[in-house]
Structures are given as C-alpha cells and as structure tokens.
Amino acid sequence: MKLFYKFVSYAFHPILFSFIGSFLYILLSPIHMVKRQEYIILTIIFISTYILPIFLLISLKKLKMITSYQLSTIEERKFPILFFIILSLMLAKMLLGIKIADLLAYSFFAISIALSATYILLFFRLKISLHTLGIGGILGFIMVMSIYYQLNLIGLICFLFLLSGLIAVSRLKLKAHKPNEVYIGFLIGLIAQLLSYQLFL
C-alpha cells in the first residue's frame, strides 16, 4: 500500500495543480476563446508553474540549499514558496491584461493568498501540506466556476472531494505531515479561492 500512496503523492504533486486548474477552466468555461488563445495560455502556465519550478528545485539541490525535492523541512520551503507567491501574482496580472480569462486570473490571486498564509505559518513551525492546499484550491476554484457561470458541476465537485480525501490519507500514511497540517492546508486552499471570488467579483 505504501507504493500506492507514493504514486498518489507523485501523480498529484503540488506543482501540477495550477496547470490542472487552468486546463479545467479552459475545458469547462463558457467564455469563447479561439484555440490559439487557449494553447498560448496553457503553454505559458505550464512553463511557468511546472518547467520553471523543476529547474528551480534542481538548481537549489545543486547549490545544496535543499536536501530533497520533497522540501521536507520548514527552512527548505521558504524560498520556493516565496518564488511561487511572486509567480502567481505575475500570472494573475498577465491574465487580467489579456481580458479573456479574468476568473482564471483571480484564481492565481487566490493561490498567492493561500501560499502567503502558508509562508507565514512556517514561522510558527507549521509545515502545511502543499498537496492538500493544491487540491483544496482546485475544488474551491471549480465551486467558484459553478457559481459564477451557473454550471452544474456537482459530479466533478464530488469527485474532487473524494480525491482530496485520497491525497490527504496518502500524505498521512507516508508520515509526510501531521493531521492538522493536512486539514489546514486543504482549508487554506479552498477558502482562498472563495475569498478571492468575494474580493474581486
């Protein structure tokens, strides 16, 4: 079973969630975009939130600023999280600038809010689960899409709730986090998306 939990943790790694959320937005949003625009948006987000972070982690490991790609200690998490906060704000500003994906832009503002809360909690020696923060964020974003666009996404929301539970159990079984770190991570990710919706819309 440990191999299965490891598979779940790798398959739903935190750096994938921004792209997954963006892909679901493109797939489900009733806003009309030409295919070229969709490809450009997804390509920029994939490079920014997946390729760049991989290079960052490789560089940090070579510089011996981190000991593993799992960022297992509080100190190792500080710089990468700060990097992601800035990156999320830049992506949000870029998406607002093109004026065809405002809701997606606000979701990146929400990511920066969630990561800022996570960064602050590091100083209180609380290592929030980025896995559950990520899946909580996607769930919150899909709920916002459902409300804003009046879409019936109950099936997807139920699936994401179940997936959230599986990811949470995996992190606990692997002893990567304490229960409160898993639950708080999920709530921060979820609430940040709903808060962003209220603040900006």
Q: In a 10 Å sphere around its CB, with 0-12 CB exposed, 13-18 middle and 19+ buried, how is residue 126 labelled?
A: middle
Q: What is the pLDDT along the chain (201 residues), one digit of tens a residue?
A: 889 999 999 899 899 999 999 999 999 998 878 888 999 999 999 999 999 998 988 888 888 787 776 777 888 889 999 999 999 999 999 999 887 888 999 999 999 999 999 999 999 999 999 999 999 999 999 999 999 999 999 999 999 999 999 999 999 999 989 999 999 999 999 999 999 988 876
| Tens of pLDDT, residues 70-116 | 777 888 889 999 999 999 999 999 999 887 888 999 999 999 999 99
Distance CA 138, CA 24 (A): 9
Q: How many domains does the chain have?
A: 1
Ramachandran angles phi, psi of 84, nearest 5°: -70, -35
Residues with Cβ < 8 Å from 189, sequence gap 6 or more?
114, 132, 133, 134, 135, 136, 137, 138, 139, 140
Which tokens is 100 given? 């065809």
pTM for this one?
0.92
Query: Tokens 């099936």 appear where?
Result: 155
Q: State the pLDDT at residue 45.
A: 95
Structural domain boundaries enclosing 148: 2-200
